[in-house]
Amino acid sequence: MIETSEKEVNEEHALAIKRSQVEIVCPGCRSGELDRVPFNGNVHCRKCGAAYRVNGTIIDVLPEYTVKRYFWHDIVEWDFFVDVYESWFWRSGPYGNIVFGISFDDEFKLISNIHQIKGKKSLVDIACGPGIYSRPFARQLNEGTVVGLDLSMPMLEYASTKAQHINNLFFIHGDAQDLPFFENSLDGANCCGALHLFPDIPRTLKGVLRVLKPGAHFTVATVKVPNIGPVSRKLSYWYHRYGGVKSFVPEELERLFGEAGFTDFVCHHAVRWWTIVSAQKPG
Ligand SMILES: C[S@@+](CC[C@H](N)C(=O)[O-])C[C@H]1O[C@@H](n2cnc3c(N)ncnc32)[C@H](O)[C@@H]1O
Closest-CA residue to 279 (of 201, 179, 191):
191
Choosing from 152, 269, 274, 276 the residue with most ligand 1 atoms within 8 A of its CB, the one to mutate for a pocket test is 152
Ligand 1 proximity of 197 Cβ (cutoff 6 Å): yes
Provide the pLDDT for residue 14.
66
Ligand 1 proximity of 176 Cβ (cutoff 6 Å): yes
How far is it, in rounded angstroms, from Cα 102 to Cα 269?
A: 9
C-alpha angle 77-80-81 in degrees, rounded to nearest 5: 60
Q: How far is the CA of 150 from the centre of ligand 1 (A)?
A: 6
Residue 21's contacts (CB-CB under 8 Å, 6 or more residues apart) are 121, 122, 144, 145
Provide the pLDDT for residue 12.
59
How far is it, in rounded angstroms, from Cα 23 to Cα 33?
A: 6
Nearest-CA residue for ligand 1 atom 9 is 193
Roughly how many angstroms between the first and final C-alpha of the chain, as a whole number?
51
Q: What percent of the chain has pLDDT over 70?
A: 94
Instruction: State the amino acid at position 116 in one-letter form.
Output: Q
Provide the pLDDT for residue 1.
38
Nearest-CA residue for ligand 1 atom 8 is 192
Mean of the per-residue pLDDT values of the chain: 91
Provide the pLDDT for residue 38.
85
Instruction: Give 39-78 pLDDT, tens digit per residue.
Output: 889 999 999 999 999 998 999 999 777 778 998 999 999 9
Q: Which residues pair with 189 in a beta bridge?
A: 124, 218
Ligand 1 proximity of 194 Cβ (cutoff 6 Å): yes
| Residue 277 half-sphere exposure toward CB, CA atoms < 13 A | 26
What kind and span of H or E run contains 269? strand 263-271
Instruction: Give 144-179 pLDDT, tens digit per residue.
Output: 999 999 999 999 999 999 998 898 999 999 999 999
Q: Which domains does the chain have, with CATH numbers?
A: 57-280 (3.40.50.150)
pTM: 0.94
Ligand 1 proximity of 157 Cβ (cutoff 6 Å): no
Average pLDDT score over residue span 102-112: 96
* Whether residue 95 has pLDDT greater than 90: no
The atom of ligand 1 lying closest to the CA of 155 is 27
Q: Which residues pair with 126 in a beta bridge?
A: 149
Q: Are 215 and 187 in contact, with CB atoms under 8 Å apart?
A: no
* Whether residue 15 has pLDDT greater than 60: yes
Write out 80-106 in H/E/C secondary structure: HHHHHCCCCCCCCCHHHHHHHCCCHHH
How far is it, in rounded angstroms, from Cα 96 to Cα 92?
A: 7
**Sheet strands (E) in 62-211:** 122-126, 145-150, 169-173, 186-192
